[in-house]
A and B are shown apart, each in its own frame.
Chain A
Amino acid sequence: MLLWRMPLMPAGLPSVYSWVGIAKADDMGKLTIERLGGFAGFGGPHLKSEGQLALADLSPDDRAKVEKLFEIGSKPPVKKTNDVFNYRITLQNDGRSQTVEVPESLVPAALISSVKDTLK
């Protein structure tokens, strides 16, 4: 079962990011991507890897893949593999928020390349 459907949207949505519960009109179709795990254990207090994208900026193929990721995420538990990165992807859409966590092998390159590794 697909959890959500997004119509094609124009590119260039504002990059403002809001958390669940305070979503605004300009939050529609925003993806927040967090890289987790790996040998170094990204996602801890000092190692972060995050990025944001608008669904409208993705190709139709990638958008379909993202839909699939949310479908996989609805079937826990998704097994993890030794030291391979996982991605926590949050979709904010129309005031609602959904999050999935999936392995790197299923994440479109556009999402992977959107994240930036940083020290906190």
Chain B
Amino acid sequence: MECFCQIIPNDVLDRFSKDRRLSAEERKNFADTALVDAQMRKLRVQAAKLTAVTASLGLAPTVTPAAPAITVADCHHSQTLPGTPVANPATSADGTIKSAFVETKAVADFYKTVFGRNSIDNAGMTMSSSVHYGVNFNNAFWNGSRMTYGDGDNNIFIDFTKSTDVIAHELTHGVTQHSMQLAYTNQAGGLNESVSDVFGSMFRQWRANQDASQADWLIGKEIMGSGATARGFTCLRDMASPGAAHCLAPQPFHFSKFQTGMDPHLSSGIPNLAFYTAAKAIGGKSWEKTGQIWYKALTGFAPRPNMTMRAFANRTRQLATQMYPGDAPVANAINAGWVAVGL
């Protein structure tokens, strides 16, 4: 059984595993969860140490595969993960399965080609996806080890694999887990979500070979259902205009509006707009300079789970100067991006 076990305090899991008022199966599930949780914590710690060491040495582990394996499993509308493994997802007649495979492979290529990163953990980790999760399930998520996609309810949303930025967004949560290890609450949570939107949007632009001016900067454009589009909603979020009326999930976009406890999907609008503003000012392809700075800020340092937005902003300012020393407009654009959102 896979679970989202890292979110429950271990003492609570342990207590439930011994609670006679729960069924034997439930007690076993809690015990299993506690066991997996403990191992996952160890795994994350070790992965982070490995990432930090290899990054500092400029080396990769000797057993690292050249490219990650890509797997897809079919949940057949159940909510049991991982689902049934698909033998040949690349040639599947099921469009969702094929899309999950093709776009996940493309995200791997994107990270390798653009950032020199080998998969989620930079050590060739297998990239696993589960599709057809649940019934009318309006979500996609990263559960700590795999991407999972619902088919939508065909009213508000359709198949979540249809937006390439959604696939890169979920995979980037894995990259964050194996690098900066951002928490999922408060300012770090907003950064966590924003980083996934930033790399999701960059991936979509990379697939379309668009520069910053050609890109629409929308998140979730292709998963909008007929009920949503009929109401005038053209996307989930808009990095260029986070509070716009055409966003199904409009966001605040100035740091003065940030509130402790705010949902990360709201507060991510602040760094999203900073990235957009900087990338637009720098010009060219967003991944060529702005993306490189963001990637280095995310992966080039020791884990910092509770990083604030201001600290992240200052890190990108420093990196802009260090990485592009003879290119003052880059540093100016990065600074202007953050100033525009009050940071």
Contact = CB atoms under 8 A, between A and B. Distances in A.
Given A40-B248, A82-B184, A83-B170, A104 B156 contact: no
B4 A103 contact: yes
Interface residues of A, number: 35
Interface in B134-184: 136, 138-144, 153, 156-157, 160, 166, 169-170, 173, 177, 183-184
B138 A80 contact: no
Given A38-B138, A44-B250, A81 B144 contact: yes
Interface string B104-148: 000000000000000000000000000000001011111110000
B325 interface: no
Contacts of A81: 4, 6-7, 141-144, 184
Interface in A34-78: 36-47, 49, 61, 64-65, 68, 71-72, 75, 77-78
Interface string B9-28: 10010001001011100100
Interface residues of B, number: 50
A52 to B, nearest CB: 19
Contacts of A43: 263
Contacts of A106: 8
A85 B184 CA distance: 13
Given A37-B263, A39-B160, A40-B248, A83 B7 contact: no
Contacts of A82: 141-143, 170, 173, 177, 184, 192, 196
Contacts of B139: 38-40, 83-85
A39 B228 contact: no
Contact of A105 (B4, B264, B266): B4
B265 to A, nearest CB: 3
Of the candidates B7, B23, B157, B192, the one having the most CB atoms from chain A within 10 angstroms of its own CB is B7
A36 B262 CA distance: 12
B23 A83 contact: no
Nearest to A42: B138
B150 to A, nearest CB: 9
Contacts, number: 128
A68 B16 CA distance: 8
A119 interface: yes
Given A46-B248, A84-B143, A117-B156, A40 B220 contact: yes
B7 A80 contact: yes
A105 B143 CA distance: 11
A79 B249 contact: no
Interface of B: 3-9, 12, 16, 19, 21-23, 26, 136, 138-144, 153, 156-157, 160, 166, 169-170, 173, 177, 183-185, 189, 192, 196, 220, 227-228, 231, 233, 236, 248-250, 263-266
14 contacts: A37-B264, A39-B139, A39-B160, A39-B166, A40-B248, A40-B249, A41-B265, A44-B249, A64-B21, A64-B22, A75-B9, A81-B143, A83-B170, A83-B173
8 closest A-B pairs (Cβ-Cβ)?
A41-B265, A83-B141, A38-B139, A82-B173, A41-B249, A80-B184, A79-B7, A105-B4
